[in-house]
Structure 1
């Protein structure tokens, strides 16, 4: 009898230790919702449906405007509840955050002012592990990648292409995107010091230096330029990882372009806001800080396979992994969905 009790005690202890060592998984979805899905007929319901289908634990939202005199995150949480899904959020504007786990704190890291972007943070837990999840929608003005392609990055009017690197970076730095990211990096230092896993999702309204490389300088109207875009460079120097480039490092075979995406649920003239200037770039990102036991296991685009190029619908011939929409696609951006494991 004594031996039997000892055996079962050892078995129970071993099972508990094995369970503790097993990796847990979580998903993050970056979703630019294009003015809350109000542009596309049925867009709001499509946002809710795509979130449910994604199975995301955290959803970082861009272009949250709180239309209809109601708070978008409150409305989408109610819509998700009707679909049998429970999420939590907090008041935000311009960017938003949803979590399957109760939120213990929220912080305005970079407040929205004059329509020039925002960054918010929430703190939550999965088991005993704390998370700091950030959402961003950065300044949409002074987009110098348009200047490179022959259009003003403020007015989107036609002009002579800017092909001098110093001029490109000068024009780009008229935005406040790098200011906002500097605030994120500073705030996230506190989270890392507290032992939290740090995740940032957002529409940065700026390409990545990992995409405008020597290999792509003669592609996609890069005008022969290799550009160290500010936001991605600042994040890399601070030690952050770009999920898409982590798993798909080649920007030629896997450009990962998220905007402008071809939403076939509305007329083309409503989809493009600057027909002659539209080109394709990766401006939606999920970024993370390396953390002991944290591993990125999968990342994919979510949305239509087609894109908009110079005001025309085109099909892409790339190796990018993509999950196509169930039905209506509610936005002119593709979303990004990343899966992580941690111990």
Structure 2
């Protein structure tokens, strides 16, 4: 059963004007409430405000008529509920599993039943068709076969395949691109969706109306399995740290690649305290500090594969060292064949703790987090990925930047991650256009990057003020060089010092560039991140006459920090010798180098 408070609850979709039930009490509800009807299975979204905020104000959904607190007193349990703690905000209630029909939404005060707004009636509508899969599991490369029916035929009805969870239209509105799609005209029929090139994992299929995102049927989930022998991305890797005497939990359950039909796990060696479940959960309570080495075997119908897993058991601080990465994934890793597995391999082999991700296409961070058993927070372009729990998040600012609070045991960390505008590009303006320094700065402003970085720094202000106790990171692809690299002593393209705004703004806010702190001389340690792939200028940006010339190399990806951290090392990393002309076979799944900084946590 659930809660109540003064609220202005304005559903994020069109308001449904309805008469509220009669109230038998005289106390005024000092908020308002509005809501829209939704198709069963999608989320009921709302917004609210109240002059009486409380951490235990809540919104509850009841059958109408039914168990709702019509007399501002408990009658029976709600069907769904959620807290609405702020003076104003937004939220949602799931409707999966509920029957179509009439419902009523209440906004209630302080874990009780006093109204904060007039209740609103909601209709949960049954979908107008059916969607059926021939199989709930398919092997990558094998088409997904579907059949469908609808009472609302259209030549532009369509079926779309999305990662689950991911960019699917869960609220019957666009979130992100589908992985595959096909039109489905007529009142019934069959169709197929190709799976070639897709990574193994969980997906969901939607049947949608008239080139839009209104559901025609309940979505259906499926799993795509890999082909070939099962294998871990790398045979030896480290899981999150443990602490003596504290219950531990991690997982390897999502890491096996290849054919995973019938997948199960077993422990083959390791300390007595560690157990490995059939689903890949690694649990137990460590009894002594040190390095625990655990042998794990994964078995599928296609064979077995083994991994050696390390857990660092700490006696004091859970995370005495932090390995932080900034990584542009190059359209989510989709440009390079088997990019997802290559991303997993890199993260595991480099023992990464936290990642600021850019170009998070198709919810790549979510897929990585699911496989790794990590936490994540994402939008369509940027994400924070963490081996340790994310406890709070900051929604999108300055176009696409996001932030998260990460629990490191005895200390928290705030990680901000940004992806700034890419055009016009300063090194082209300098090396090809030979603009004056003032013209370069004017072009930076016109690109939007100057405003974006200033907005990010402004949003970070409370975290920067608290950084003495809670360290702060700012990672990102800034699409601009650093004033620490373009100096009088390190001439580039004939220029001396250039005060690039995207690097001076963080410095002025007290943030330190970790790579340049580890490598003070830009002449001997340039640390270029753009680009290990693009060595020849491909044209565009108004400089087609320079097509085929050497691509200006520069450092445009960063890990900045402020607070009780000490830089132990920082490196610009990639793997192999990436090809520009045929990148699909590259061992490195990105066109940027990643920046990995190792910190000692004070």
For normalisation by structure 2, the TM-score amounts to 0.43
**How many pairs are equivalent?**
278
Structure 2 CA distance for partners of 1:178 and 1:307, relative to 1, 3 Å: farther
User: Which has the larger helix fraction?
Assistant: 1
Q: Of the two structures, which has the highest relative contact order with CA contacts closer than 8 Å and spacing of 6 or more?
A: 1
Pick one of 374, 387, 391 that aligns with 1:87.
374
Aligned 8 A contact 1:262 1:305 in 2: no
Aligned 8 A contact 1:162 1:168 in 2: no
Larger radius of gyration: 2
1:316-336 deviation line (CA, Å, top 9, x unaligned): xxxxxxxxxxx8110111111
Aligned 8 A contact 2:317 2:409 in 1: no
Structure 2 CA distance for partners of 1:307 and 1:165, relative to 1, 3 Å: farther
Once the two structures are overlaid, the 10-residue window that deviates more, 197-206 or 45-54, is 45-54
Counterpart residue number, 1:259: 530
Aligned 8 A contact 1:42 1:328 in 2: no
Structure 1 residue 25: deviation in Å? Answer: 0.7
Structure 1 residue 41: deviation in Å? Answer: 1.2
Counterpart residue number, 1:149: 431
Counterpart residue number, 1:205: 479
Aligned 8 A contact 2:325 2:355 in 1: yes
The answer for unaligned runs of 5 or more in structure 1 is 1-14, 81-85, 113-117, 151-160, 314-326
- Which whole-Å CA distance do the structure 2 matches of 1:225 and 1:169 have between them? 14
Residue 27 of structure 1 aligns to a residue whose secondary structure is strand
Counterpart residue number, 1:52: 348
CA-based RMSD of the aligned residues comes to: 2.8
1:303-326 deviation line (CA, Å, top 9, x unaligned): 147689xx899xxxxxxxxxxxxx
Aligned 8 A contact 1:34 1:332 in 2: yes
Structure 2 CA distance for partners of 1:210 and 1:73, relative to 1, 3 Å: same
Counterpart residue number, 2:441: 169
Counterpart residue number, 2:595: 336
1:107 equivalenced with 2:394 (yes/no): yes
For normalisation by structure 1, the TM-score amounts to 0.74
Structure 1 residue 200: deviation in Å? Answer: 1.0
Structure 1 residue 135: deviation in Å? Answer: 1.1
Aligned 8 A contact 1:29 1:60 in 2: yes
Aligned 8 A contact 1:163 1:223 in 2: no
Counterpart residue number, 2:360: 64
The answer for unaligned runs of 5 or more in structure 2 is 1-288, 290-313, 541-546
Structure 1 residue 28: deviation in Å? Answer: 0.3
Structure 2 CA distance for partners of 1:33 and 1:40, relative to 1, 3 Å: same
Aligned 8 A contact 2:483 2:503 in 1: yes
1:236 equivalenced with 2:510 (yes/no): no
